[in-house]
Structures are given as C-alpha cells and as structure tokens.
Homo-oligomer: A and B are copies of this chain.
Amino acid sequence: MKYFCTMSTTIDYQRLLTFTEAVFKAIGSNADEARAAAEVLVSADLRGIDSHGVARLSGYIRLWEAERVNARPHVQIVHETPSTAVVDGDKGLGLVVGPQSMKIAIEKAKAVGTGWVSVRNSNHFGIAAYHAMMALPHDMIGIVMTNASALVAPTFSKERMLGTNPICVAVPAGNQPPFVGDMATTTAANGKLEILQRKNLDAPLGWIQDKEGGPVQDAHALKSGGALLPLGSDRDHGSHKGYVLGSIVDIFSAVLSGANFGPWVPPFPAYVPMPENQPGKGIGHFFGAMRIDAFRRAEDFKNDMDLWISRFRQAEPIDASQPVLIPGDPERIMEVDRKQHGIPLLQVVLDDLQAIAAKFNINF
C-alpha cells in the first residue's frame, strides 16, 4: 500500500476549491472572479478530466508571472446585435472570461431565443462542459468551443496547424440526466497522451504521427516534431472530417472574434515563445445558448429527450457487461463519487500545489 499512497492522495473537494480560490486571490483576482475561476478549474477534477484541473494550476500561475494573463481584466462587449456579441477578454483567465461570456449568451437567449458570443483576447478556460452546462438550469441547450495552440496536423500535412479544439453540447432532459457531449476534435485528447507519457506506454496507432507524417506509437513523438491526428486518424477513416471539425471550432472561436487562429494561437506553457506575426488577440472561444421554448414547449422537448435517452440506453449492447452510454454518463458518475469520497491527486500534482502554497503563503 505504501507505493500506492505515494502515487496518489485523496483530497476533499471543498478543501481543493477553497485552496484554488485563495491562489487566484493571491495573484490579484477579485473575490467573485477567484471563486468563479476555482469552480471552473476544480470542476475538471470532479468530472475526472484530471488533465484540465488543478494539475494545470501552476501553469496558469506561470502565465500570470510571464504577464500573459491579466488577473484583473476588464471583460467587455465590443460589438453586439440582439442575438450575438463579440467579447474582449482583456487577457484575463479563460476561467473568468468564459463564465462571463456564457452569461451574455444566456441573457441574449432569454431576450430573442438564442445567444451567440465569440470571444477574443482570452486564455485557456478549463473544460468546455462547465460553460455549456451553465445553460441547463435555464432550460437551454449550451454549445461551447475553444481553440488552443497548434498540436494537430491537417490531413495530408506534417505541420501542426490546429489545437485539439473541443466542442461541447449540453442538452437538458426531464427525468433523465442531461446529455453532455464534450469532445476534443482529435482521435485522442492530449490529456490521454500525457497519461501514456507518464507511464511510458505506447499509444495506439492512429493517435499521432511522427515529424515526417508517418505512423508512430511512441507517446513522446510530439516532443520530436510529431503531431496529434484529427478525429478519424487517417484519410481512409475520415481524418478530413476531424480536420473540418477542428477548423470550424477555430473559425467560430477566433476568425469571428479577432483572436489568433491556426498556428498563431498562444501556447499554454509560459516558457514557449509566442508565435510571430500574430493576426489577432489571445485565444478565442465560442459560446451559444438556445432556449428550448424558442422551438417548442420545454415540457414536450424534455419528454422526447427522456425517450431519446432511455431508448439509446437500451440499444442492444455487443457485450452485456458494457451497456451503451449516454454522453456525460461517465463524468456525472465520477462527479458524484468524487464529491463524496474526494479527489485523488498524483504526488507530482500535490508537490506542485504545495509549492504554490509555499510561494503565496497559503495554507494547504
């Protein structure tokens, strides 16, 4: 058991949230924004997306130290119509800019049925699902995208041109839990590759290519010029469709808002130099909210969603021990478990958090 204990320690959710909030306050965020940012970040740990949670906290701090993140942003609408807005995030934490922008989309949907907000001059915003799910209590569908720095090669290319550019769609139901599909537009999310790297395991063929564009399984191939592959893996299996999806996310998030796109998106690691000749400001996001009753009675829709979900759950399984899942099932089950039993953190992440605690003189 000793070996296991050095590998991961379980931390109470509230304790992790309070600590994270204190860290954001320490870099200068106001009380509301520190709380909001902490909630978004730790929601990733709660939902089992460990790669996007507090494991990245020190990365956000380093971006602030490098003056690439502004802890006291003046987030504002720079252009709008009844159903749309462009928001300038003023170099703020995406964890702060994101919820504020999604709120604008929701308010517009209340007024005219739908709201669509494209955001420039932001930074990484944690998991897309947090923002998309903000629509659910309002009986709205939430749609969220973000671009990210280039790790993905388009079909036929050996050059990294797109981020893992996720799309999340959250749909309310009635008696059933909501449908929450949150997916990178690559075959495998970068977080899954990082897990293999830590364990020194090979990746399945079709996740990555080497610097010449050839097939490779070495999970470290990105460090020597390789690239992640778009969803579909290769041309015969539809990688051009993953490339289309990643491109749509890039265009909606950044070309519509005036953020950086393609190979010009700022990197997350603060030590990586900024790309030269950037055409826009910061990274870009896209937020949408559609009011259900702008289409039909919310009750009718929810009854049909319940039927949709229960019918898909009953789809005949290949293996009786592995039933068909509804998007959002694994994360929801994980969230219930971790809220009750705590969040397991790897020792390397704990060390990181303890170093942050020491730096800012915060109790952890």
Query: B241 and A183: CB pair below 8 A?
Result: yes
Residues of B within 8 A of A248 (CB): 169, 181
For residue A187, CB closer than 8 A to chain B, the reply is: yes
Q: Which of B113, B206, B316, B323 contacts A81 (CB 8 A)?
A: B113
Q: Which of B116, B252, B257, B323 contacts A156 (CB 8 A)?
A: B323
For residue A94, CB closer than 8 A to chain B, the reply is: no
Alpha-carbon gap, A232 to B204, bound state (A): 13
Residues of B within 8 A of A245 (CB): 181, 245
Alpha-carbon gap, A311 to B118, bound state (A): 22
Query: A311 and B262: CB pair below 8 A?
Result: yes
Chain B, Cβ-Cβ closest to A112: B82
For residue A35, CB closer than 8 A to chain B, the reply is: no
Q: Which of B86, B113, B206, B243 contacts A84 (CB 8 A)?
A: B113
As for how many copies of this chain the complex holds, the number is 2
Question: How many residues of chain A are within 8 Å of chain B by beta carbon?
Answer: 85
Chain B, Cβ-Cβ closest to A302: B255
Query: A301 and B255: CB pair below 8 A?
Result: yes
For residue A59, CB closer than 8 A to chain B, the reply is: no
Known: A161-B312, A181-B244. A82 touches B82 (CB 8 A): yes
Query: B296 and A258: CB pair below 8 A?
Result: yes
Alpha-carbon gap, A187 to B296, bound state (A): 32
Residues of B within 8 A of A300 (CB): 258
Q: Which of B84, B186, B242 contacts A295 (CB 8 A)?
A: B84
Q: Which of B155, B188, B261 contacts A324 (CB 8 A)?
A: B155
Query: A154 and B294: CB pair below 8 A?
Result: no
Q: Which of B157, B161, B252, B255 contacts A304 (CB 8 A)?
A: B255
